[in-house]
Amino acid sequence: MDRSVSPESSDSDGLRVSISLAPPRLNKTAETTSLDFDGRLTEPLLLKEDLKNGCGGQLWPAGMVLANYLLDRHPEDLANKSIVELGSGVGLVGLAVARGCKTKGPLYITDQQPMFDLMKDNIQLNDLDTAVSASILNWGEPIPKQIPSKPDIILAADCVYFEPAFPLLVSTLQDLLGPNSVCYFCYKKRRRADARFMKMAKKAFDMVEIKDDPNAPSYDRENIFLLEIRLKSSKKL
């Protein structure tokens, strides 16, 4: 799976993210973005964005939606949890949680090799070395030993964009989800093919759309969905 494939460039359904969610970023140069999530962070999060190694090196709207939701609705109950983020890219969601929820770590942000240095740079940029670790995790492959195999929380935003990777993502979620795990999953539906991922995932997991986000009206019309994913009830202890 290669994050150089842009979510916005693959068989678009004609919908575009509004500038209020994420400004256009085509051909953008490397830069550092400061985010305080509407004042939810007393100390802004600094994120280096750099597209030289693929489109994962920038902010994407589902990541903003998920980070805002977790900071707004779960600012305290994630503090003592083991957390793994999939497809982290710049590390937006994981680093926002580490900063705003004051997690005691380690929290693992993961992606493929091309994003590894960028994830490490952003950890250091925010002085979160003691709370956050960057790791390479290729979907569909065994979970690296340093990453908890059954973490309490899994974070995944903008991971539905490349159809050949759908079964690999499902496989990795199956490896990570334990009987008490929950995955907070946010994605933007861009193509008809995205429904194939949802069909596969619904066969493998219990999936419930999150209904307690007061910001939902601002992204519902952008075809962005926020879900909780768990093991099927029959598989729980």
pTM of the model: 0.87
Mean pLDDT of the chain: 87
Tokens 């957390």 correspond to 83
**Predicted local confidence at residue 86, as pLDDT:** 98
**Predicted local confidence at residue 9, as pLDDT:** 39
163, 198 in Cβ contact below 8 A? no
Q: Which residue has the higher pLDDT, 106 or 35?
A: 35
**Predicted local confidence at residue 216, as pLDDT:** 93
**Predicted local confidence at residue 29, as pLDDT:** 75
Question: How do residues 18-61 score in pLDDT, each as one tens digit?
Answer: 323 343 444 567 899 999 999 999 999 999 999 888 888 899 99
**Predicted local confidence at residue 209, as pLDDT:** 96
Question: How do residues 186-237 score in pLDDT, each as one tens digit?
Answer: 999 888 888 899 999 999 999 999 999 999 999 988 999 999 999 997 544 3
Q: How do the domains of the chain map onto residue ranges?
A: 61-235
57, 4 in Cβ contact below 8 A? no
User: What is the 3 state secondary structure string of 205-219?
Assistant: EEEEECCCCCCHHHH
CA 102 to chain centre: 18
Strand order in the sheet with 224-231: 132-136, 107-111, 83-86, 153-157, 182-188, 224-231, 205-209
3-state secondary structure at position 174 = helix
**Predicted local confidence at residue 41, as pLDDT:** 96
First to last CA, the chain: 33
**Predicted local confidence at residue 27, as pLDDT:** 52
With 60 as the cut, is the pLDDT of residue 73 above it? yes
Percent residues over pLDDT 90 in the chain: 72
**Predicted local confidence at residue 14, as pLDDT:** 32
**Predicted local confidence at residue 119, as pLDDT:** 97
Burial 132-144 (b: 16+ CB within 10 A, else e): bbbbebebeeebe
Q: Which residues pair with 208 in a beta bridge?
A: 228
**Burial classification of residue 75, based on how many CB atoms lie within 10 Å of its CB (0-12 exposed, 13-18 middle, 19 or more buried):** middle
**Predicted local confidence at residue 151, as pLDDT:** 96
Indicate the fold that domain 61-235 takes in CATH: Rossmann fold (3.40.50)
